[in-house]
Amino acid sequence: MPDTSLLLAFAVGVLYLGAIACIYRILLTYRTTQGAIAWIISLIGLPYVAVPLFLVFGRSRFGGYMKARRRLGDKRLTRLLDDFEQQPTSLTKAEQAQLPGQLQVHSKLGRQPFTEGNRCHLLRDGEATFDALFKAMENACSYILLEFYIVRSDRVGQRIKAILEQKLAEGVQVWFLYDEIGSVGLSRSYLRELAAAGARVASFGDGNIRRRRFQINFRNHRKLLVCDGRVGFVGGINLGDEYLGSAIGQEPWRDTHCLIEGPAVAGLQLAWLEDWNWASKEFPDLNWTPGEEAPGDEQVLVLPTGPADRWETCALFFLNCINNARSRIWIASPYFVPDFQIVNALQLAALRGVDVRIMIPEKSDNQLVRLAAYSYLVQASQAGIGLYRYQPGFMHQKVVLVDNLYAAVGTANLDNRSMRLNFEITAINTSERFVSSVEAMLTEDLAQCHRMTEQDFQGRSLLFRLTCRAVRLMAPLL
Domain of 463: which CATH number?
Answer: 3.30.870.10
307: in domain? no
Q: Are 386 and 181 in contact (CB under 8 A)?
A: no
Predicted TM-score (pTM) of the model is 0.88
- Tell me which of 17, 32, 53 is where a domain ends: 53
Write out the residue range of the structural domain in which residue 459 sits: 313-477
Same domain assignment for residues 330 and 295: no
Same domain assignment for residues 404 and 472: yes
- Collapsing DSSP to helix, strand or coil, 397 comes out as coil
Same domain assignment for residues 185 and 296: yes
305: in domain? no
Instruction: Name the burial class of residue 432, with classes exposed (0-12), middle (13-18) and buried (19+) by CB atoms within 10 angstroms of its CB.
Output: exposed
Category of 173 on φ-ψ map: left (φ > 0), alpha (ψ -120 to 50) or beta:
beta
58: in domain? no
Instruction: Name the burial class of residue 427, with classes exposed (0-12), middle (13-18) and buried (19+) by CB atoms within 10 angstroms of its CB.
Output: buried
Same domain assignment for residues 112 and 237: yes
Q: Supply the residues annotated as catalytic.
A: 221, 223, 228, 396, 398, 403
- Collapsing DSSP to helix, strand or coil, 477 comes out as helix
Same domain assignment for residues 23 and 72: no
CA 102 to chain centre: 20
Total residues belonging to the chain: 478
Largest CA distance in the chain: 81
Find the radius of gyration of the CA atoms of the chain: 23
**Residue 119: partners with Cβ closer than 8 Å, 6 or more residues away:** 260, 261, 262, 295, 296, 297, 298
- Tell me which of 300, 330, 360 is where a domain ends: 300
pLDDT tens, N- to C-terminus, the chain (478 residues) = 456 777 777 777 777 788 888 788 778 776 666 667 777 887 887 777 777 777 766 666 665 665 555 555 567 888 888 888 888 888 888 888 888 999 999 999 998 999 999 999 999 999 999 999 999 999 999 999 999 999 999 999 999 999 999 999 999 999 999 998 899 889 999 999 999 999 999 998 754 444 444 456 678 999 999 999 999 999 999 999 999 987 676 788 999 999 999 999 999 999 999 999 888 888 899 999 887 778 889 999 999 999 888 889 999 999 999 999 999 999 999 999 988 899 999 999 999 999 999 999 998 877 888 888 888 888 888 899 999 999 998 999 999 999 999 999 999 999 988 998 899 999 999 999 999 999 999 999 999 999 998 888 888 888 888 888 888 876 666 6
Bridge partners (DSSP) listed for residue 355: 328
* Overall domain count for the chain: 3
Same domain assignment for residues 263 and 123: yes
